[in-house]
Amino acid sequence: MFKRLKKTLLLAIVSSAIGTVGTGTIAADKSYHDNSLSSFVQKPLDFNKSKQLVLQNNDDQHRATDAHIQLSYAEKQTAKRAQRLEYNPTGWHNYRFKYKINNGKISKEWLFNRGHLVGYQFSGLNDEAKNLVPETAYLNTGALKSTNASNKKSMLYYENHLASWLKKHKGYRLDYQVTPMYRNNDLLPRQIRLAYVGYKNNGEKVKINLHSYREEKGNNDATVVYINNDSPNAIIDYSNGTARNTLNKSKTLQEDKKAAEKASSEAVIKASSESITRESSESAAESRAKDAANVTAQDQSVVAPDTTTATTDGTVNRTGAYKWAIQDGFNWQTRKGHSTRIASGGSLPAGYHWQVQ
């Protein structure tokens, strides 16, 4: 009895490691989806008892857009894949970049792979333009060199587990959709979206849980995973596919950010300085124009002598020459626009006072 119970528990553990069939909850720790990216709609194919392979046409920039397959275990590809690919997907460049290995030494390896959307083991497609995009080796295989099938940030993890799921559920069908996700007119996808769901032989959907923290609920009972097309040792320009090598990516990005902020700050200061200089120049020109206008206005506002208003209380100009009258509340320094010249014998206007030297 104990042996039988032990065997049952071991089978349950193995089953859990490969994948769960049923209605178990699929929820990641957080959403890994970059909402700024565009992509083909995520939706399972209608159930069919024969193999379906649907590749969407490349877009006007010749970028692959979506690859979708539905198959049973018996319909998997069995022929060995040719090693060499001839087609260069849009945005293809390659670099042999440095990286630090475990013992601290520096090694080199190729940054990019010609990455299949739906893997060869499912599709049997190799050199197909509609099924290839530039993928980092890290995204494709989970490592900078060789492979790491346990890396949940890699396509390899999900491809291997889906193949195991098919093998374990030979009477079911797997619906698997792989979609590159682009930002505007970028040539390289920034993310790859995987979407998968099972079908029982009667067409009933079953959820697939591959026990990854990156799994999320998708449309129509599918599970979706978003994986970044990046690499720990590279900074990639997705607009054209070029890249630069860095052994400490986070440090380099921080330095880039500080440099950009400094350049932006200097540009703002320069623009502000130029604006102040321009405004000062304009202000000086306006001031000179106003002075000229004031002199003209003041010349035109000379008050003629009026002997009939002559008094002895200081309200009449008795200097024998022109005298400045300044509006109350202003002085000689702020007189512009608020002063007038009074001829000898002229009276002080109401609200004005004589200029005191």
User: Residue 142: CA atoms inside 13 Å, Cβ hemisphere, count?
Assistant: 14
**21 near 198, Cβ under 8 Å?**
yes
| pLDDT, tens digit only, all 357 positions of the chain | 444 444 444 444 434 444 444 444 555 557 899 999 999 999 999 999 999 999 999 999 999 999 999 999 999 998 888 878 889 999 999 999 999 988 789 999 999 999 999 999 999 999 999 999 999 999 999 999 999 999 999 999 999 999 999 999 999 999 999 999 999 999 999 999 999 999 999 999 999 999 999 999 999 999 999 999 999 999 999 999 999 999 888 878 887 788 788 877 777 777 777 767 676 666 666 766 666 555 455 554 444 444 444 444 678 888 878 888 888 888 888 888 888 888 888 888 888 888 865
Distance between CA atoms of residues 223 and 65, nearest Å: 19
In order, the DSSP letters of 239-267 are TTTEEEE-SSHHHHHHHHHHHHHHHHHHH
* Three-state DSSP class for residue 13: helix
User: What DSSP designation does 301 have?
Assistant: T
pLDDT tens column, 318-346 = 887 888 888 888 888 888 888 888 888 88
Check residue 250 and give its pLDDT: 80
Amino acid of residue 23: T
Q: Which helix (H) or strand (E) holds 53?
A: strand 52-55
Distance between CA atoms of residues 215 and 311, nearest Å: 101
Per-residue b or e along 8-21, where b marks 16 or more CB atoms closer than 10 Å to that residue's CB: eeeeeeeeeebbbb
Q: Which helix (H) or strand (E) holds 5?
A: helix 2-18
